[in-house]
Amino acid sequence: MTIVAGVDIGNSTTEVCLATFDSLSLIKYLASSIIKTTGIKGTVANVPGIVIALEEALKKSGLKMSELDEIRLNEATPVIGDLAMETITETIITESTMIGHNPSTPGGVGLGVGTTVWLSQLVGIIAGEKVLCVIPAGIDFQEAADALNEAMTRGIDVQGVIVKQDDAVLIANRLKRIIPVVDEVTLIDKVPLGMMAAVEVAEAGQTITTLSNPYGIATVFKLSAEETKMVVPIARALIGNRSAVVVRTPAGDVKARTISAGFITVFGAKGKADIDVDAGAARIMATVERVQPVLDVQGEAGTNVSGMLERVRQVMSELTSQPLGEMKIQDVLAVDTFVPQKVQGGLAGEFALENAVALSAMVKTSRLPMQQIADQLTKNLGLRVVIAGVEANMAIRGALTTPGTDKPLAILDMGGGSTDAAIITRDERVLSIHLAGAGDMVTMLINSELGLNDFDLSEDIKKYPLAKVESLFHIRLEDGTVRFYEHHLPPEVFSRVVILKAGDMVPIPTNHPLDKVRHVRREAKKRVFVTNALRSLARVAPTGNIRHIDFVVLVGGSALDFEVADMVTDALAEYGIVCGRGNIRGSEGPRNAVATGLVLSYLGGEA
């Protein structure tokens, strides 16, 4: 009797399938295991994780490592995702400072335009002059209101107020006339004095209209057409705010630095093509498809996209100990996205959503790194280790153990870093493709578009449904249904958008409404998973026409996602394709397809 272990090294997880054989056939499956992949897929850093996964499977079977006869590995191709900014690294703002932090309770309402002065300077202002009063910390709201009313009585045209403390409503309620009051400006000392400025506060439940409009700002400050172009980032950053302040500063106060996105050159079997990143994801992907299969991708020197691609090559060269010149990018997936960029000139940490193109790049490495992993395992464990086959081909073998399946059959293996597709015909011919972009890219898009700067939190948003805590005793789920609780919920989740994770509630530390978070999550999944499903199946279809595929089985970790499988199934239904999650060996669900295929290939060689 021979005991064989199939080991699938993925971007996110490492999976093991353990089985016993006699000289002619499989006797039975013994156990399976799954652990988080150690290091980047396809590097020697994977070895500790492989050993842990093997030990876990052997423990379930009551076996020891010394009883294992052979370990079979997949050919793991590393995939790295990164962002190539479409616009700039720093938002351009010329001759402007802005405050757009949107306090929860501004006071008053309307638009005020005037010269910025300290409260203490009001005594020296002549009647009829338009001013915006700046009130530092330490001044009582009643004292501030009395001073403002006295100035108005003397004929000074107080147009609005900027306050450091949380006193906007208290001050506004005590003034003789209604003017806009913005508070909670923490960097009040940095507000330029003696400068033309504008303050705007909208009615409750509404948003500002003048300072979020480039032409509105141009009207207020009498800007030229060229100057109006330069204030677009200010207006964009203030869209959706209930209050805002814009101050015109002396020329040269704010410096701007730009780095262009640049263009990429795609080298393919059908020729090469240049495409500007500014053209967007759709044009980039059309170029990739036109010249595919891709042999390499390079970026314009000195640009954002060049830096991103060279960083990917450098990382993989260091990890695999292969020459940098041999690092070839065999596929890219481009997705349009938005990235919050810090606004230069802001006084309250303002951000503007800038257009960006997210790129997931797959580096083609030689068989050498996988052989290094095999050699290291042999050295550590003293066992025979074989590099058994291409991931997608092994996944086909595993998928065929799903009850109700037969040849011809296509699979979509949606993992953390890549999407693999393969099809097996009735006469055992196998066609496969390995494309960049999967679960990790979705997480990256969620992280960037929501401005979270927290990869683990973004991963949870991707994997679990959302809810809004509307009281201490009930929540509203993202599908609109309400759930009530007998005992009160933790105070820290009250009125927050939360992730429903394994019976727990994880609050999301942003002000984004539930609908926005859900929309970002679903759109990220569609742009990555649905796009890659369609392009990968089109590549493996024998005729090149996706409509000639009848059955598709979804496997891999991302197929477990609570909505991805439905999205892909819905998209493929338009082509008359029967699609659903796999159930490997009738017990594993969509997991373990590659590991199971590696075991099954023991007698028959590579698929």
Tens-digit pLDDT profile for residues 243-252: 888 887 665 4
Torsion sign across C-alpha atoms 384, 370, 456, 337: negative
Q: For residue 81, what pLDDT band results from cuts at 50, 70 and 90?
A: low
What pLDDT digit, counting tens, does each position of 432-455 carry? 888 888 898 999 999 988 988 899
Average pLDDT over residues 451-479: 94
Residue 310 or residue 250, greater confidence:
310
Q: What is the mean pLDDT of the chain?
A: 86
Does 605 have pLDDT greater than 50? no
For residue 349, what pLDDT band results from cuts at 50, 70 and 90? low
Are 452 and 114 within 8 A, CB to CB?
no
| pLDDT above 90 for 461 | yes
Domains of the chain: 1-77+367-401+590-607 (3.30.420.40), 81-89+258-364 (3.90.470.30), 96-248 (3.50.30.70), 404-465+510-582 (3.30.420.40)
Q: Which tokens in the block code for residue 371?
A: 């052989």
Judge whether residue 205 has pLDDT over 90. no
Is residue 62 helix, strand or coil? coil
pLDDT of residue 545 exceeding 70: yes
Q: What pLDDT is stored for residue 89 in this prediction?
A: 33
Q: What does the pLDDT read at residue 148?
A: 95
Quickly state the pLDDT bin for 351 (edges 50, 70, 90). low
The answer to whether residue 195 scores a pLDDT higher than 70 is: yes
Q: Which residues contact 357 (CB under 8 A, 6 or more apart)?
A: 83, 84, 85, 86, 261, 277, 280, 281, 284, 305, 334, 335, 336, 337
Question: What's the pLDDT at 169?
Answer: 94
Lowest mean pLDDT among 46-60, 480-494, 558-572, 593-607: 593-607
Determine how many CB atoms are found less than 10 A away from the CB of residue 499. 20
Give the pLDDT confidence score for residue 233 in this predicted structure.
Answer: 72
At residue 417, what is the residue type?
G
Measuring CA to CA, how many Å separate 396 from each of 102, 161, 201, 219? Answer: 54, 68, 61, 64
Instruction: Determine the pLDDT at residue 101.
Output: 56
The confidence score (pLDDT) of residue 364 equals 72
Predicted pLDDT of residue 31? 96
pLDDT at 92: 41
